[in-house]
Every structure is written in C-alpha cells, then in structure tokens.
Amino acid sequence: DGQTHSLGVSSVFAFDAAQDTLRLTEAEQQRVGQLQARVVSFNRNESNIVCPDRYIFVQFKHAGRHHNQLQMMMNIIMWAERLNRTAVLGPFFVKNEWVSHSDLYNFSEIARRYCVVSIDTMRKRLSSRIPLTPVTIACFDGDMCRNSLMHFDFKVKTNLVKIVELSAPWNYVDAHFYLKRCFLRYPKKSKAHIVIINYIAAFMMTRGLSDHAAIYGLLRPSALIAQRVKRFLNHSFGPRGRFFAVHKRHREMTCNDFLTESLPQLRTHFGVTLRSEREQLIRAQCNISIPYLAALHASLGLRLFSYPMFLAHDGQDPYTVPQLKARGARVYEKEHYAQYEDCAYGLCALAVDYFVMTEAEYFSGNAVSTVSDNVCFVRLGRGKACHGMEPAIIRMFSYDVREPYPLGG
C-alpha cells in the first residue's frame, strides 16, 4: 500500500491540498484569540463582561442525535451575549433517557469565557432575588415548557408565557431568514427571566466559523473520558504519536440527498460554483473508499498508512471498514482494544472517538456530518487544520445567521 502515487487514484479523486485544507485566516485566528482570552462574571468588579440574570435554555427532548444536540448547546452559548442573556446547560436526551453533560464533557473553560451556567446555578440565583417575585418563563411550545420545568425544579412560583411562532425550517438558508426576521428579536426584548427556545431554531443559530472555532477549542472531555482518551492514544500511537484520523459517516443513506439540497445554496448565496469533478469529490465523502483516502494522502504529500490511521465510523460500511482494519487502522472497539470501556447508549465510546480525532496530525471526515464538523471546530480553535472536506460547506453550515449572505439575504 506504500505505492499510493502509482495507483492512478489522484485523477479519479482530484484533491488539491491548497483548496481542500481548511484553516482559519489571520483575522479569524485573531478573533479566536480574543474570545479565548476574555473573562466573564456575574460580578461587575471581576470582569468587563457581566453575565445577566436572564437566561436562555434549549430543551433537547426528541432533538436529534447527540452531536446535533451538542451543536444546539454551543449555539445558544455563543448567542447568549447577543441576546443579553446567560445560557443554561441542560442534560442531553438519548433514547428516552436524560444524560448529564458532565458525564462526557468539561465546560469549565467555556464557562470562564462565556456566560453559561448549570441549571442548579440558575435556580439558586433566581431563587435568592430580593424581592422574590415569581419566575417568568417564556416558551415557544407547551410541551417544551413542561419538560423544562421538570429539570428546573423551582420551589418558587413560576409564571408561564406562551409565545406564538411560525414553525422553524430544517433548511439553513430558509432558517437564516426565519431567525433574522422572526425569532432572534424576542429573547433580547423579552422581560422573562427564562426563554426556552425551539431546538430546531437552536440548531440553526450559527455564529460564524471563527466563533465556532473559539468555543469548541475550549471544550474539554470529562475526567472519565480524558483518562480513556489518554490511555487509548498511548496504547495505539505512543506518548508522542502522530496519526491520521478519519471519520466515516454515511447518514443512513441520506448523505447524497442532503448534498443535492445543500450544494445549490453555495452557488446561489455564496457565489461558489463547483465543477462536476469537484461535486463528485464532495459526494465521495458520503462513502469514503480506500482509493479516496489514498488520493487524499497523495495530495498532502503522504502515502496511505505512512502515518498510522485512527478510524471512527458509524457501522454502516461492511466492506471498507474491515479492509482498513486489516491494514492496521486503529479503532476504539472492544474487539480490537482490550481496555475498551463504554457507558449507556454508546456515548462514552462516541466521546472517546471524538476527542481522539481532535488530537490527530491530520483529520478528514464528512462535511455534512455534525460529528465531523464538531471535530473540525475543535481543531481550528487549537490551531490545527481539517483536510479534504470542502471548506466552503463547513463555512456555509457555520455562517453567522445575523449577517447577510454575500450574494443577498
């Protein structure tokens, strides 16, 4: 497999490292540095950024897969300052069960730089006001309100305010206009102590690539996950190991349909025109093959497996994944790693995969996967790059919904 350059795969998958590698611009790097260096506080004497005693919360029941929920959580943290609110960290929802965010992640660095608190902190602050007036909660949905009150567990009186809204669209461009014109004005103007927002709206409340890089770059694994990541890295790659991480995600066979819907938006709103071979290269992310990986490596001046490979995958490929494992790709799976440990619903294994990929020398995945995008955001926030994932797509999916599109909107 060392003879990658002679396979002729580069002409089939026409990668161009200069075009296919996503790095932040100098201005974006400066923005990341500014956001990661600031300090916030509820105390005016401790910080220039004072967190308000008004809150914004997104409730995750039936809100999609885990990394979709992580994006929703990060989005409301980024947007809280614009909306003159403090974000509240709630539990994740997985298969009719609630899972604490602290089981998987450590948000302490983020909480130093952004106005975000736990439910417990919010409850204590709102319950210790003088005079102790009722807590007003504004909701965009009745079920959402009832489910959230279960988490809040207020001992003081609460008043619920129902907000009539149009249904949020599951489409980035339509959502851009919806959020800008209909939705985002309310949380900022509302006098309610807590505004509980629609999870679809939260998913669409993107803030711009540099802002995503800044906050994800501060995300850390929980102590439990950090220990497992360190142990796996040492076992698989050595204490100073360098490796190439690949995330293979198929989206339950909906990947190509999603691209068919999304790619025209690049042209219409961002002026990005894709040649047919370029579009084919993007669609090849939906089913990453060995020739695809060989061509990507060649474009980076590498041979396939000249760096050890770490492979994270969704279990939907019975052909390429076993072949890569047979060639030596490392995986965090119990059949291939004696110290494998997981927790409920596969979340711990997913978290280990996630944080291992952020540590790689090179990383490539599927730009329409939230897992791949979330890995990329962490890497960008720590001065690393992402490879072979069409930078224009990642920039579109993280585009600041407050800003007009380059070609209108």
Same domain, 63 and 98: yes
pLDDT of residue 184: 66
Q: Is the residue at 93 inside a domain? A: yes
pLDDT of residue 44: 85
Adjacent-strand bridge partners of 118:
89
Peptide bond into 264 cis (omega under 30): no
Distances (CA, A) of 129 to 115, 187, 193, 313, 409: 19, 21, 12, 49, 42
Q: Is the residue at 32 inside a domain? A: no
The single-letter DSSP state of residue 404 is P
pLDDT of residue 62: 79
Q: Is the residue at 124 inside a domain? A: yes
Domain limits at 182?
A: 38-205
pLDDT of residue 373: 98
Same domain, 85 and 186: yes
Same domain, 101 and 226: no
Task: State the helix-helix crossing angle for 370-381 and 26-37, rounded to 10 degrees.
Answer: 80
pLDDT of residue 1: 41
Same domain, 297 and 391: yes
Q: Is the residue at 215 inside a domain? A: no
Q: Is the residue at 185 inside a domain? A: yes
pLDDT of residue 102: 96
Q: Is the residue at 211 inside a domain? A: no
Same domain, 62 and 196: yes
C-beta of residue 309 within 8 angstroms of C-beta of residue 329: yes
User: In CATH, what number is assigned to the domain containing residue 346?
Assistant: 3.40.50.11350
User: In CATH, what number is assigned to the domain containing residue 60?
Assistant: 3.40.50
Same domain, 154 and 259: no
Q: Give dist(CA 205, CA 407) in Å, integer.
A: 20
Average pLDDT per block of 10 residues along the chain, 409 residues long: 44 90 98 97 88 93 90 96 94 91 97 97 93 88 73 87 66 67 70 88 92 99 98 91 94 87 89 90 95 97 97 93 97 96 94 98 97 99 97 94 76
- pTM listed for this prediction: 0.93
Same domain, 311 and 389: yes
Q: Give dist(CA 395, CA 31) in Å, integer.
A: 16
The single-letter DSSP state of residue 179 is I
Nearest Cα neighbor of 183 from 159, 174, 63 is 174
pLDDT of residue 172: 63
User: How confident is the model over 48-94, as pLDDT tens digits?
Assistant: 899 999 999 998 887 889 999 999 999 999 999 988 999 999 999 99
What residue has token string 């006001």?
129
Same domain, 233 and 95: no
What is the domain count for the chain? 2
Q: Is the residue at 402 inside a domain? A: no
DSSP run (H or E) holding 118: strand 116-118
